[in-house]
Amino acid sequence: MRTRFERIARTILLSLLLLPAALPASSTVGPLSAQAQPLTGDVLILNYYQAGYSWTDDQTTGIREMLRTGGYRADPIVEYMDWKRAPSKENLDALYRLYRLKYARRPLAVVFVTDNAALDFALLHRKEIFPGAKIVFSGINGYTEKTLAGQKEVTGVVEDVDPTGTVDVALKLHPDAREVLVIFDGTESGQAARNSVAAKVAQYRGRVKFRFLDDALVSEIEKEVKRMSPGNLVIQGAYSRDRNGKTYNLDEVVKIIAPGSPVPIYGLWEAMCGRGIVGGSLLSGRIQGEEAARMGLRILAGEDVARIPVVVKPPMVLMFDYRQLQRFGIDSRLLPAQSIVINRPVSFYQANKQIFWFFIVVIGILCAAVAVLAVAVTARRKADKALKIEKDYIERIISIAPTMICSFADDGRVLSTNRAVLSISGYPVQALEGSSWWETFSDKSREQIDQLLYALRQGPVLNHEMTLTTNVGAKRVISWHLVTGVHEDAVGMEIIGVGSDVTERKLAEEEREQFLRELESMNKELESIVYVASHDLRSPLVNIQGFSRKLAKACQEMNALLRDDRVPGDLQSACDSIQGSIGKSLHFITSSVEKMDTLLGGLLRLSRLGRKALKHDRVDMNGLVEDVVNAMTYQLRQSGGEIEVEPLLPCLGDAVQINQVFSNLIDNAVKYCAPERRLRIGISSWMDGGQAVFRISDNGIGIPLAQQEKIWEIFHRLNPGSDVAGEGLGLTVVRRILDRSDGKVWVESEWGKGSSFFVSLPHGDR
């Protein structure tokens, strides 16, 4: 379960985080195997002992794994001669026959043999059973040059234990030890090893006493070990079979004696470490196998065996058992460098490194996610708060807005309303919300509503007027701005409407239009009265003028008659006085009639002006003003003045009427010039809000501020008695024309300095 979980965790970890790092790591296998030559040929591993014997198993594993690492893809054949359990010549003979049967016709490339007797067997029978095969050995004790005498194409690794190394390190860790018990079995290989140990430890003679316990039974060994005085040491050598023929694994005896041993036991083989020995400089079956396999690979790759020397000093491993170090209070810091300590209790971190990092990463990711979520939640809360404030604000505005704000579903159902809707309609909210606006409150037909909905689907509808019937049956005209929206309670489209009650405005507009219509008809009536009056009053005037002249003539005739001598003098003088007053009266009558004639003429002109239809053409003001100025050349020359006309904007209007406006204004500028200075008239124009504005300025006598409104009145003249001819009608005509032409006229003037008359007319190019 745990393994599976670890695998899953590791996979996730690797895929999440270590994938980039894992890629180069995995890719290193590729080049290695790619570099290796394809290695062919059958390989046999011939073990002298049985499967399950750790020494043999270690070597076999070492050979197999190194072959695979080196690129040998086939599965080696493995044979076990099982010598420990069947140590008889018959067994060897039977094996000989069996192997000859199996391998004589099957060429083997390399035969790996483990342990002395297997090598002896192979060398003895190689021609018959392994013809042509190269032999690589491992686990060979007591190797000398004689071992391979007369043999070719044989190489391998010597099993040479390192008792000196083990004794060295043991004595270093136990400097006070005085006796070392060395245990070996009585087998051939055991005794060979024992002798090599005895030869090597001779150097310690004098310092430590070595006692060899050879070919003892395990029970005897146990007893001997238990009798050891504390502070001394035991070296466990090879023990594979007791003198009764019972076989033992390399580590088996140690397992039996170690628990009851009062002293530390050191060993010579790696297989014993972890089974009860403290440790030592250990010979490793696996390393033996690996060394042999390296040689085998070179042979398979085609290298001449003669060039591959026998490894007589095999690599050792300094290995110790943490539990035994603890048991005997040995300070692990005293161990030589490069020592391997097994069974060291691993920290939680070491034991669960991958899981630890997996969870650290997961927790890290979760923390990051929590942090992101916390930030998001805070931001969300902030946004919600801001939204709520905004919503409250909008709701308050909507609720107090004087305009009606409400929303409907497209079936007319009222979804929401503000206070203005309630107060204008007079209905309570319960009556409004939920009921159909179209059917209950509006005057629109089904067709009109469909048209409105269609228009709304295309975009907002503005200024859409609907008549609303209030709760008391009154009709209110509401001008709606309508737009579509999305409401949770609306099945289809939601319509949001902002409506203004325009009932009063509508009434006012109607009243104004009515008033304008009346005004227009009154104006027309007045104009026709003026026209008729001014026209018809002229004929009696003509009569008065005619009869006045006749009366004057009759007076002249009567005067001639009275000059007769026959008329008495006093009568003559009385008649003279009567005639004088008649003449004066006639003069008043004539001048009044003339004045009335002028006034009536003016009125007639004015009323005709109102009757004329106006054109609306584009007028070239440069040409028009030029014509006016040309027509006034005489007056201008008489006054000695000068006129400066800037390029003028075109305008829209009736050219004849506009000509009259400019003629009047320029004529006035000439007429009312100041005698003490030379007259200067300027005409210019500019644009102002779509209107062309013209200015006619002069440096004449000017108009007092108090008079500046009066000059526009009909027949109003500032100096009626002056020599300057005029009727006081020109400016009235000007204003009338501009009123009818969508234009304006106004004056800015300073008494004694001059005046500027402004005329604004629609621009000609708009």
Figure out which of the listed residues 110, 645, 701, 738 binds ligand ADP, where binding follows CB under 6 A. 701
- Minimum CB separation from ligand ADP for residue 741, in Å? 18
Q: How many whole angstroms separate alpha carbon 295 and alpha carbon 310?
A: 9
Compute the least distance from the CB of residue 715 to ligand ADP, in Å: 8
* Dist CA 243 CA 220 (whole Å): 12
Alpha-carbon distance of 186 to 242, in angstroms, equals 7
CB 727 within 8 A of CB 745: no
Output the six-digit token pair for 511: 């009243």
The span from the CA of 122 to the CA of 96, in Å, is 9
CB of 717 to ligand ADP, least distance (A): 3
Question: Least Å distance between CB 421 and ligand ADP?
Answer: 58
Is the separation of the CB atoms in 45 and 79 below 8 Å? yes
Joined together, the tokens standing for residue 436 give 């159909």
Compose the 713-742 pattern: x for residues touching ligand ADP by CB under 6 A, - for all others.
---xxxx------xxxxxxx----------
Nearer to ligand ADP, 419 or 716 (CB): 716
Q: Smallest gap, in angstroms, from Cβ of residue 712 to ligand ADP?
A: 8
What residues pair up with 756 in beta bridges, in sequence order?
697, 748
Q: Smallest distance, Å, CB 536 to ligand ADP? A: 25
Burial class from Cβ neighbours inside 10 Å (0-12, 13-18, 19+) for residue 284 reads: buried
Distance of CA 552 to the CA centre of its chain: 108
CB of 720 to ligand ADP, least distance (A): 8
| Min CB(738)–ligand ADP separation in Å | 14
Query: With contacts defined by CB under 6 A, how many residues of the chain interact with ligand ADP?
Result: 22
Least Å distance, CB 685 to ligand ADP, is: 18
The distance of closest approach from Cβ of residue 460 to ligand ADP in the complex, given in angstroms and rounded to an integer, is 53
Residue from 66, 111, 711, 737 in contact with ligand ADP (CB under 6 A): 711
Cβ closer to ligand ADP: 114 or 639?
A: 639
Q: What is the dihedral of CA 534, 535, 538, 539, to 10 degrees?
A: -150
Residue with tokens 């161990």: 335
Sign of CA dihedral 184, 185, 186, 187: negative
> Two tokens at 90?
């018959």
Shortest gap between Cβ of 730 and ligand ADP (angstroms)? 3
- Of 138, 141, 668, 691, the residue at the interface with ligand ADP (CB under 6 A) is 668
First to last CA, the chain: 91
Which lies closer to ligand ADP via its Cβ, residue 727 or residue 742? 727
Q: Residue 50 or residue 659: which is nearer to ligand ADP going by CB?
A: 659
Nearer to ligand ADP, 420 or 636 (CB): 636
Looking at beta carbons only, is 219 or 635 nearer to ligand ADP? 635
Helix (H) and strand (E) counts in the chain = 24, 24
Binding window for ligand ADP (CB under 6 A); candidates: 189-197, 287-295, 543-551, 665-673: 665-673
Tokens found for residue 433: 């919300």
**Which residue number places its CB atom closest to ligand ADP?**
726
Going residue by residue from 615 to 654, which x/- string records binding to ligand ADP, judged by CB under 6 A? ----------------------------------------
Q: Regarding beta strands 42-47 and 108-114, do their DSSP bridges make them parallel or antiparallel, or are they unpaired? A: parallel
DSSP sequence for 233-269:
EEEE----B-TTS-B--TTHHHHHHGGG-SS-EEESB
The region of 208-216, 228-236, 613-621, 664-672 touching ligand ADP under the rule CB under 6 A is: 664-672
In this structure, the number of other CB atoms found within 10 A of the CB of residue 375 comes to: 10
Q: Between 57 and 698, whose beta carbon lies closer to ligand ADP?
A: 698
Q: Shortest distance, CB of residue 527 to ligand ADP, whole angstroms? A: 19
Please identify, using beta-carbon distances, which residue of 168 and 727 lies nearer to ligand ADP: 727
CB of 706 to ligand ADP, least distance (A): 13
Give the CA count within 13 Å in the CB-facing half-sphere of 742.
15
Query: What six digits make up the tokens of 506?
Result: 């509508």
Question: Binding to ligand ADP by residue 695, rule CB under 6 A?
Answer: no
**Residues 81/47, Cβ–Cβ less than 8 Å:** yes
Interacting stretch for ligand ADP, rule CB under 6 A, among 107-115, 374-382, 562-570, 693-701? Answer: 693-701
Give bridge partners of residue 692 from the DSSP assignment: 687, 761
What gap in Å lies between CA 153 and CA 172, rounded to an integer?
43
Which of 92, 600, 669, 693 binds ligand ADP (CB under 6 A)? It is 669
The set of long-range contacts for 514-523, using a CB threshold of 8 Å and a minimum separation of 24, is: 523/610
Which of 582, 718 has the CB closer to ligand ADP?
718
The answer to whether 252 contacts ligand ADP (rule: CB under 6 A) is no
Applying CB under 6 A, among 158, 453, 477, 703 the residue interacting with ligand ADP is: 703
Q: In a 3-state reduction of DSSP, which class is residue 336?
A: coil
Residue 6: closest CA among 353, 363, 346, 362? 353
Which lies closer to ligand ADP via its Cβ, residue 326 or residue 719?
Answer: 719
Count the neighbouring beta carbons within 10 Å of the beta carbon of residue 687: 12
CB nearer to ligand ADP: give 316 or 681.
Answer: 681
Check binding of 213 to ligand ADP (CB under 6 A): no
> What number of other Cβ atoms are within 10 A of residue 405's Cβ?
19
Out of 161, 698, 735, 741, name the contact with ligand ADP by CB under 6 A: 698
Q: Nearer Cβ to ligand ADP, position 314 or 730?
A: 730
**Shortest approach of ligand ADP to residue 447 CB, angstroms?**
60
Instruction: List residues near ligand ADP by CB under 6 A.
Output: 664, 668-669, 672, 698, 700-703, 711, 716-719, 726-732, 755
